[in-house]
Each structure stands twice: as structure tokens, then as C-alpha cells.
Amino acid sequence: MKKATCIISLMILAASCVPQSKYDELEKKYYASLQGERKSQKAIQEKENALKSLSDQYSTLQEQQDALAKKKAQLDAEYSDLQIEYATRLKDMEDLKAKNAQIVDQAQTSEQSRKKILNELEQTQGQLQEKIKRINELESLISQQKESVSKLKNKLQIALKNYTGKGITVEEKEGNIYVSMENKLLFPSASWTVEAEGIKALHVLSEVLSKDKNLNIIIQGHTDSDKYAGSGNIKDNWDLSVMRATAITKILQSKGVSPKQMTASGKGEYAPLASNSTAVGKAANRRVDIIIAPNLGEITKILNDL
């Protein structure tokens, strides 16, 4: 404001003691200076708005990561509970068998006792037969799921055969399928933008996954132990691994995989496959694991009925 006042004073002074051309030149400089100040203030405001938007996006991503971590912990706990429940139901069946044998041994008692025992035996045998039936159904379901997992693994291996030796492996572990994709196929260093060849591979993968709506799919990002060297709102390997998993998830969704089936999460550097002391080990640790699990809904229902 002081600057503007001075210039105005100079212009008034100039008007009285200099030629008109000098006066015009001073006037142009004044208005040019005023316009520059306004542009500078506008640019500062735009940068402040952009910075706030990035901060909000980062907060949202952090909240999503926390929610995904909680969901995975919940799924792990539910699976552990199912295993314990299954073992308990098997023990109940053995107890019923033992009780049945005991009732048969006591069948030589009095007629009244014999009728009571026969009635109990009939009830026990009915319960036993029903539980055996349900256990057979459970074993059949488990067998079918194992077969389905094996068939799906074969389909994925066939679909991705052109990427054999190029950074993609398909394995079956503990009843789940792991499609592991090395970062050399997917991302430039310190980036979460998927490269063209990686997008092609994900499109092939999505053609198989989008046809089965009964799968639970976890997309899990991993890094090596090197400190994150990028800039912006991504601060460390935790953030980078989440952003990479989210990028993969969005590509699968764009090709027909239901978002309700998928969970994106990041493990940072904390689930390595190899030592980070060598370049080969670091390369193995920089990856995205796509974990494909069968839906346990029917199995859970039968276990609850036992």
C-alpha cells in the first residue's frame, strides 16, 4: 500500500514537472506493479488450497489402511475360531459313540430299564446319524473347496503362462492361492503408477477372477528395507505399500472384479521373503501378493449346526 501511495505521489509530481510521455510511462509501471501483486496473491492461495487437498487425501488413506488392518485381523481370528470349533465337533461325535457303546452294555438290565435304555439308544443313534450326515457333508464341502482351489490355481497358471520367469508366480499355500508379482513388472522405483506391462498382466488375471463371485481376495503390498526416497505426502514404506496395493485393486475393479470381494493392504518392509542384505533379496521383497481364499460361509454354517 505504501508502495502504491509513493507511486501515485510520483505520478502527481511527474505530471507537474515532466513531459506527458514520462507521465504515461510512470502510470503504466504503476498498474503493471499492481497487477503483479494481485497475481502473486492468487498463486499463493491456489498453492495453499492444493496443499490442504493433499493433506486430506493422505488422512483418508491412513484411515483406510487402519480399517483394512483391522478387517484382516478379524478374518484371521474367525478362521482360527472355525478350526477350534471343528475339532470340538469331532470330539462331540466321539463322545456320542462312547455313550452309544455304554448304553448297549447296559441293555441287560430290567425290562423297564431296558425300554428306557432302548429309547435313549434310539435318540442317541438318531443324533449320531444326523451328526455323521452333517460331518460327511462338511468333509464333502472341504473336498470340493480343495478341488476348486486346485482348479483355480491351474487356470491362473495357464492364463499367466506368458509371464513365467518374468516376475509372476502362482502357488497354493494353506488352502489359499498366492499370485506374487515382482515390482520390476509393476512399478518404477518409489512410484505406485503401474507400468504398461504390469497392467496387461493384471487384465489377464482379472479375466479369471471376475468369473468367480465366491472368492475373498486380499491385495497386499510389500517393500524392501531401503528408506522411501520419494516426496509428497507419501512418507515411508508403509504408505508406499498401501498405495501400490490400492493401485492394483483399482485396476482389477476396472476389469470386472467386484470391490466387495477385495481388500487392499500394505505390509511395508515387515514381511520379507528374503534377506535385505543383498540386491537379490531386496528384489524378491519388493512385490505385491494377491491372496485368493475360498468363501467359508457354507462350512461355517455346517459347523454351527453340529
Cα–Cα distance for residue pair 293/262, rounded to 1 Å: 11
Range 241-244, long-range pairs (CB < 8 A, 24+ positions): 241/266, 241/267, 241/268, 242/61, 242/64, 242/65, 242/266, 243/61, 243/192, 244/183, 244/186, 244/187, 244/192, 244/288
pLDDT at 115: 81
pLDDT at 137: 65
pTM equals: 0.56
Q: Which tens digit of pLDDT belongs to each residue from 127-158?
A: 777 777 667 666 766 777 788 888 999 999 99
Average pLDDT of adjacent 10-residue blocks, the chain of 306 residues: 52 56 77 79 81 80 74 71 76 79 67 81 77 69 79 93 91 92 93 95 96 93 92 90 97 96 96 95 96 71 58
pLDDT at 21: 79
Give the DSSP H or E segment for 221. Answer: strand 215-222
pLDDT at 5: 56
Domain 66-305 classification at class level? alpha beta
Cα–Cα distance for residue pair 153/170, rounded to 1 Å: 7
Q: Where are the domains of the chain?
A: 1-41, 66-305
Q: Which tens digit of pLDDT belongs to each residue from 21-33?
A: 777 787 787 778 7
Residues 69, 271 contacting (CB under 8 angstroms): no
Lookup: cell for 238: 508403509
pLDDT at 55: 79
pLDDT at 224: 96
pLDDT at 230: 79
